[in-house]
């Protein structure tokens, strides 16, 4: 199996046929413990918080898809985020984008600040601002690209170079420079490969496109650094935010069709973006591959397609936006994203409500779409009737 062919790895990496029965699908090892041949002599697994064969298959597959050496699966994207932040110590500084998922901001601001971490939020698309905002105590740079919900795009490769110029004491699990963490949830490994562009850690909410069917919650972390992996694996076991075997099975099942789904998500979203950008009631539409997007050139350099997410602002503001999101018939009014069905929401009042009293506050009239796999004509007609009612 060639590592060059993503579609093949998505179906086969870590997922050999079951040796006992020949089952082509990875079994769901629904067990909490494992028989040992003698004291201290397990057959590979001891306890399912520490490791489970279904989870191992998922972690192996995730690492292969992201071009990493080590993968770890978690019970949610926020659990993965929590564990990554535990690489740091009181007094450390995190430089983050000023447009991040509301749950990420909530965890940073309401929890980790209490334990002595400090955070700065900047426009990471401004590379000079990134360079100038690094402090002697900066030990992590946190990127979302494309961002949630504004779909801003950051040049990962250049930020990686800037981070590597910022020399630090390596410490126990340090790298000699700040960890560059990229939340790759929106793009997925099919559209974007942050490790290849210089990132140290890639993070996912596998709830979204990797699972792809709105039926599972999970998270993942991938890295190439052995010391980082060993520390994260220790924390995964010590803290215990692990997914169950059925959850791992469902994400593995979703990954098998990731490539074909992302191509359809992207083509549908591009068509919706073109429609919205020319609609007289739309003030602005943000989609990475639109020519009007301020970072479209960067997006096309580091992404295969534009993805399935977009956002737009109506000329009528919040009142009109609320009317539109409550008037669609195919686009379901719901949080989350990345499933086969199309979703619509108001981030300021829903997924990003935690930022309302901060500098990261989202325009209350901003509408976010997760464009699904329905027929494109039906999706555009649905938006058209909602905008024109």
Span 310-339, pLDDT tens digits? 999 999 999 999 999 999 999 999 999 999
59-75 pLDDT, tens digit each:
999 999 999 999 999 99
- Both 176 and 265 in a single domain? no
Portion of the chain with pLDDT greater than 70, in percent: 98
pLDDT of amino acid 270: 98
pLDDT of amino acid 1: 42
- Both 58 and 161 in a single domain? yes
- CATH code of residue 189: 3.40.640.10
Residues annotated as catalytic (active site), given as ranges:
49, 101, 183, 208
The last residue of a domain, from among 255, 286, 310:
255
113-146 pLDDT, tens digit each:
999 999 999 999 999 999 999 999 999 999 999 9
Query: Hey, what are 66's tokens?
Result: 């992201």
pLDDT score of 288 more than 90: yes
- Both 274 and 190 in a single domain? no
- Both 274 and 325 in a single domain? yes
The last residue of a domain, from among 255, 287, 303:
255
- Both 228 and 350 in a single domain? no
Residue 196 included in any domain: yes
pLDDT score of 58 more than 80: yes
pLDDT score of 158 more than 60: yes
- Both 32 and 106 in a single domain? yes
Say if CB 213 and CB 204 are below 8 A apart.
Answer: no
pLDDT score of 170 more than 80: no
pLDDT score of 4 more than 80: no
CA distance 18 to 21: 6
Q: Which residues neighbour 284 within 8 Å (Cβ) at sequence distance 6 or greater?
A: 312, 313
Residue 1 included in any domain: no
- Strand 93-97 and strand 36-38: pairing? unpaired
- Both 14 and 86 in a single domain? yes
The last residue of a domain, from among 255, 274, 298:
255
Alpha helical stretches, state H, 166-218? 188-191
Residue 173 included in any domain: yes
Residue 294 included in any domain: yes
pLDDT of amino acid 3: 61
Residue 379 included in any domain: yes
Say if CB 276 and CB 321 are below 8 A apart.
Answer: no
CA distance 76 to 54: 16
Instruction: State how many domains the chain has.
Output: 2
- Both 92 and 63 in a single domain? yes
- Both 87 and 207 in a single domain? yes
- Both 155 and 44 in a single domain? yes
- CATH code of residue 289: 3.90.1150.10
- Both 234 and 150 in a single domain? yes
CA distance 329 to 254: 26
Residue 247 included in any domain: yes
Domain span holding position 126: 6-255
Residue 174 included in any domain: yes
In whole numbers, what is the pLDDT of the chain averaged over residues? 96
What's the pTM value of the predicted model, to 2 decimals? 0.96
Residue with tokens 């029965």: 21
Three-state DSSP state, 138: strand
Alpha helical stretches, state H, the chain? 6-12, 53-65, 77-85, 102-106, 127-133, 156-165, 188-191, 226-239, 245-255, 258-277, 296-302, 317-325, 376-388
- Both 64 and 178 in a single domain? yes
Residue 204 included in any domain: yes
């Amino acid at each position: 199996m060639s590592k060059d062919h993503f579609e093949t790895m998505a179906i086969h990496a870590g997922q050999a046929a079951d040796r006992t029965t020949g089952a082509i699908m990875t079994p769901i090892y629904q067990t909490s413990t494992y028989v040992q041949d003698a004291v201290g002599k397990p057959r590979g697994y001891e306890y399912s918080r520490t490791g489970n064969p279904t989870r191992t298959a998922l972690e192996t597959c995730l690492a292969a898809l992201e071009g990493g050496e080590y993968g770890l699966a978690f019970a949610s994207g926020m659990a993965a985020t929590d564990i990554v932040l535990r690489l740091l110590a009181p007094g450390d500084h995190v430089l983050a984008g000023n447009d991040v998922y509301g749950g990420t901001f909530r965890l940073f601001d309401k929890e980790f600040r209490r334990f002595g971490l400090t955070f700065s939020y900047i426009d990471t698309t401004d590379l000079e601002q990134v360079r100038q905002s690094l402090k002697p105590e900066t030990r992590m740079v946190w990127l979302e690209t494309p961002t949630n919900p504004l779909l801003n795009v950051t040049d990962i490769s250049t930020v990686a170079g800037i981070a590597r110029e910022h020399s630090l004491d390596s410490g126990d699990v340090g790298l000699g420079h700040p960890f560059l963490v990229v939340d790759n949830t929106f793009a997925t490994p099919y559209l974007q490969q942050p490790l290849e562009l210089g990132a140290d850690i890639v993070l996912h909410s596998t709830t979204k496109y990797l699972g792809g069917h709105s039926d599972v919650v999970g998270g993942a972390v991938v890295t190439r650094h052995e010391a980082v992996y060993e520390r994260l694996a220790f924390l995964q076991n010590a803290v215990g935010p692990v997914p169950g075997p059925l959850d791992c099975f469902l994400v593995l099942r979703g990954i098998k069709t990731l490539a074909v789904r992302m191509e359809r998500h992207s083509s549908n979203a591009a068509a919706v973006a073109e429609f919205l950008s020319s609609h007289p009631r739309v003030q602005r539409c943000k989609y990475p591959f639109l020519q009007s997007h301020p970072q479209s050139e960067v997006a096309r350099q580091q992404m295969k397609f534009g993805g399935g997410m977009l956002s737009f602002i109506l000329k009528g503001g919040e009142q009109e936006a609320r009317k539109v999101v409550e008037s669609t018939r195919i686009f379901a009014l719901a949080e989350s994203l990345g499933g086969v069905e199309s979703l619509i929401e108001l981030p300021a009042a829903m997924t990003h409500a935690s930022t309302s009293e901060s500098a990261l506050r989202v325009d209350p009239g901003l509408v976010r779409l997760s464009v699904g796999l329905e027929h494109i004509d039906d999706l555009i007609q649905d938006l058209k009737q909602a905008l024109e009612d």
